[in-house]
Amino acid sequence: MMRGSFMPGKTALTVATFSALIFLPRIAPALKNYKSLEPAGIPAVWQFPIPKNAQDARPEMEEIRAARLQLLAPKNLVDPNHAMDHFYESLRRGGLTRVLHYGDSPTTGDLITADTRALLQKQFGDAGAGFVLIAKPWAWYYHRGVEMDAASWTIDVAGATEIKDGLHGLGGASFRGTPGAVAHWMLRDGQQRTLDISYLAQPDGGSFSLDADGREIGSVETSSPEPAPAFTGFELPPGSKRITLRVTQGSVRLYGTEFRKQSPGVIYSSLGVNGANITLLSHAFNNAHWAAQLHHYRPDLVVLAYGTNESGYAPFVNNTWGKELKAAVHRLQAALPGTSILLMSPMDRGEKTDAGEIDTIATLPRLVGIEAAVAAETGVAFFNTYEAMGGRGTMARWYAAEPRLVGADFIHPMPAGAKIVGELLYNALKDGYNEYKLRKLAETSTGFQGSNEVASK
């Protein structure tokens, strides 16, 4: 046997093959799109410590695993407690994964959420359009993939209504109607196969009917001895595109409908209330009623995206924001133990200085810092939207961009700007998911090695 610096034949052949693949795109221009390591980085590949004996192997492997996990850690998504694992595991298993995304005005128009939804459904499957309100509380209320119109409803929005019972359903708005009240939903793809109507069962409640493309599919009587949240599901004939709900008798109070396909995948519901702040969830929602809604929809991930409206009030930010945010998180944790919760910071918010320049308002970085601290204290995940999109001065750059990415208020994103934020959120979730899979693989590998060692003793 030869000794010294020579490599065994198989090893030498492996190295030669690897080197050929590295330099192949440079030798053969036709293969320029072939992706490989850069030759300049090859020394870093070879310069790894070789364990002197078998006992040194495990610590080295653990270090390598830790380094790989760090490389895959999502940027601007902080989750030291692995609060997102429930959501990631649901994605890994397949089947149905539900996301509820609460927020303010951009969320009411399905901005940001629509783009994140589309990307998640492209990767993991489209399980349906999700939750949609009965009618439009605001002219710009929108859900990509579902057009809607309605007439003759009395609309009560949480935090802005004379009704103070807090029974606002899942989405923060209720719709009272008598005969003549009607709602229409036009589905884009005709592949939704079920709908689930959410309403309030109540004394002297009336009734409503549903039809699909002019064909009646059922009716519901809402009368009940005591007020209570209620839900009724219906199957849709294949290809159904126009769904109509009509109040047929008495008075009803409805909340919304969830559209779902038969296929596995993601349902991502945007639940925005215009002008909302975090007190909507910490106080305006009746706790038992909201918990019942959450139990029914069983989300795997709840996103709380507030802070933009709060950032305009420095005393609120300094004295109240953290307390109210913590209260909302605790409500969710009590209602949905084990469910993943993600605090999503607001985007940058700009204002004009005395010099006429656009700069980030002073309270925003402070608000984001408080939110990060609340996430750490409550053990939930935190996505720093503000930093992910560029940090201080982003709205000035976005306003100067062609085309503009933000409106003249330096707050509300244009569709192109919203798409950027939606993609940033998706990429963070995707990276977190990949890190989760690698972490689980490493745990399985460690367990397998441990069992082999026990067996060999």
Q: How far is CA 253 from CA 198, 280, 288, in A?
A: 9, 20, 18
Question: Are 276 and 424 contained in the same domain?
Answer: yes
Which of 236, 262, 288 is the last residue in one of the domains?
262
Question: Are 276 and 410 contained in the same domain?
Answer: yes
Distance CA 293, CA 296 (A): 5
pTM for the whole structure: 0.83
Question: Are 80 and 149 contained in the same domain?
Answer: no
Banded pLDDT at 75 (limits 50, 70, 90) = confident
Residue 79 domain-assigned (yes or no): yes
E strand or H helix at 269, and its extent? strand 265-272
Distance CA 128, CA 262 (A): 8
Residue 176 domain-assigned (yes or no): yes
Question: Are 115 and 192 contained in the same domain?
Answer: no
Q: How far is CA 71 from CA 366, 432, 434, 443, 444, in A?
A: 29, 11, 11, 17, 20
- 278-313 pLDDT, tens digit each: 999 999 999 999 999 999 999 999 999 999 999 999
Whole-number pLDDT of residue 408: 96
Question: Are 347 and 432 contained in the same domain?
Answer: yes
Q: How far is CA 29 from CA 23, 25, 32, 36, in A?
A: 11, 6, 5, 14
Would you list the DSSP string of 306-365?
--TTGGG-HHHHHHTHHHHHHHHHHHHHHHSTT-EEEEEPPPP-EEE-TTS-EEE-THHH
Question: Are 316 and 232 contained in the same domain?
Answer: no
Whole-number pLDDT of residue 74: 67
Banded pLDDT at 442 (limits 50, 70, 90) = confident
Residue 397 domain-assigned (yes or no): yes
Distance CA 349, CA 398 (A): 11
Indicate the range of 2-11, 77-86, 379-388 predicted with least confidence. 2-11
Distance of CA 336 to the CA centre of its chain: 16
- What is the rounded average pLDDT of the residues 230-241? 97
Indicate the range of 131-145, 221-235, 353-367, 437-451 predicted with least confidence. 437-451
Domain that holds residue 425: 56-127+264-444
Q: What is the end-to-end Cα distance of the chain in Å, rounded? A: 32
The percent of residues above 70 in pLDDT, for the chain, comes to 81
Domain count, the chain: 2
Question: Are 122 and 149 contained in the same domain?
Answer: no
Question: Are 147 and 292 contained in the same domain?
Answer: no
- What is the rounded average pLDDT of the residues 7-31? 43
Residue 30 domain-assigned (yes or no): no
Asked if residues 363 and 350 have their Cβ atoms less than 8 Å apart, the reply is no
pLDDT at position 216 over 60: yes
Amino acid letter, residue 225: P
Question: Are 286 and 422 contained in the same domain?
Answer: yes
Residue 49 domain-assigned (yes or no): no
Q: For CA atoms 254, 334, 324, 322, give the dihedral sign.
A: negative
Q: Which residues pair with 344 in a beta bridge?
A: 383
Distance CA 451, CA 443 (A): 12
CATH of the domain at 229: 2.60.120.1360
Tokens of 452: 């082999």
Q: Which of 88, 82, 104, 100 is nearest to 295 (CA)?
A: 100
Residue 428 domain-assigned (yes or no): yes
pLDDT at position 397 over 50: yes
Distance CA 445, CA 457 (A): 19
Tokens of 276: 């909302």
Residue 436 falls in which region: left (phi positive, over 0), alpha (psi -120 to 50) or beta? alpha
Helix (H, G, I), strand (E, B) or coil at 239: coil
Amino acid letter, residue 371: E
Asked if residues 222 and 177 have their Cβ atoms less than 8 Å apart, the reply is no
Residue 319 domain-assigned (yes or no): yes
pLDDT at position 24 over 80: no
Q: Which of 88, 153, 96, 64 is nearest to 445 (CA)?
A: 64
Question: Are 223 and 280 contained in the same domain?
Answer: no
Listed in order, strand segments (DSSP E) in 126-250 are 130-133, 146-151, 154-157, 173-177, 182-187, 194-201, 207-212, 215-221, 228-235, 242-249
Tell me the average pLDDT of the chain: 87
Banded pLDDT at 162 (limits 50, 70, 90) = confident
Tokens of 220: 């519901």
- 33-64 pLDDT, tens digit each: 433 334 443 333 333 333 444 444 444 555 55
Which of 235, 262, 289 is the last residue in one of the domains?
262
Whole-number pLDDT of residue 447: 59
Tokens of 59: 């610590």
Percent helix, strand and coil across the chain, each rounded to 5?
40, 25, 35
- 121-154 pLDDT, tens digit each: 999 999 999 999 999 999 999 999 999 999 999 9
Question: Are 270 and 416 contained in the same domain?
Answer: yes
Whole-number pLDDT of residue 73: 55
Which of 210, 235, 262 is the last residue in one of the domains?
262
Looking at residue 166, what DSSP letter applies?
A: -
CATH of the domain at 104: 3.40.50.1110
Question: Are 240 and 363 contained in the same domain?
Answer: no
- What is the rounded average pLDDT of the residues 354-377? 97
Residue 21 domain-assigned (yes or no): no
Residues in the chain, how many?
457
Indicate the range of 24-33, 237-246, 252-261, 336-345 predicted with least confidence. 24-33
Whole-number pLDDT of residue 240: 97
